[in-house]
Amino acid sequence: MRAALSLLGRVWWLVPIVGLAAGWWWTDRQLADVRLTLANERTVRVQDAADADKAKLKAERDGAERVATATATYADRLANRAPIILESTKTVERYAQTDAGRVRCRDADRVRSIDMLDAALAAPAAAAGSGHRSLSADTPAPAGGR
């Protein structure tokens, strides 16, 4: 025991140095841990910002697509409402051969039957005696006329 005390008496100045070195080493490890944590948080923050930018761009793109779709739908509705005025027989024939023309144009028999119906309705008006006669039905005709 005396030997340990005499040795401690000769190297007492090493005790604070060892304590300071241990404190420096412990602080350095803590600082490295904090630096690693901050680097990880920055990476997450950058990824979140990139994800937020992607989400914002996607929302803007989706909004633009909805506007484009709505515009196209409105234009289609407007085009369907506006009458198509065809003045040439060849133009009518070419139009009737398209998909839209097949839907809107009537075949020649239907047009002739409508013309005959118009003539039949005009004839009794001249006679003006029989008000109880019924009209012939034109059921397959669309409500929009010819």
Tell me: the pLDDT tens digits for 76-94?
888 787 666 667 777 777 8
Tell whether 39 is covered by a domain. Answer: yes
Instruction: Report residue 5's pLDDT band, with 50, 70 and 90 as the boundaries.
Output: confident
Contact 84, 104 (CB under 8 A): yes
56 and 98 inside one domain: no
58 and 114 inside one domain: no
Residue 38 has pLDDT above 80, yes or no: yes
pTM of the model: 0.32
107 and 56 inside one domain: no
Tell whether 44 is covered by a domain. Answer: yes
Tell whether 24 is covered by a domain. Answer: yes
Tell whether 133 is covered by a domain. Answer: no
59 and 101 inside one domain: no
Q: In the Cβ-directed half-sphere of 65, how many Cα atoms lie within 13 Å?
A: 6
Residue 21 has pLDDT above 70, yes or no: yes
Tell whether 2 is covered by a domain. Answer: no
Q: What SS3 state is found at 75?
A: helix
Tell whether 12 is covered by a domain. Answer: no
What range does the domain containing 53 cover? 18-82
Q: How many domains does the chain have?
A: 2
Tell whether 77 is covered by a domain. Answer: yes
72 and 95 inside one domain: no
76 and 90 inside one domain: no
